[in-house]
Structure 1
Amino acid sequence: MSEISEEQVAHLANLARIALTPQEISSLTTELDQIVDSIAKVQQVATPDVPATSHPVPLSNVFRPDVIGETLTIEQALRNAPEHDDNRFRVSAILGEEQ
Structure 2
Amino acid sequence: MSGHRRALLFFHHIYSSKKRAFIRAESLALSVTGVCKVGRPGVLAVQGPDASVQEYVGKVKVPQEHHGFAQITERSLLRSDFDGRAARSTRTS
TM-score by length of 2: 0.25
Between the two structures, name the one with larger relative contact order (CA 8 Å, sep ≥ 6): 2
Q: Which has the higher strand share?
A: 2
Larger Rg, first or second structure (1 or 2): 1
Calculate the TM-score normalised by the size of structure 1: 0.23
Return the structure number with greater helix share: 1
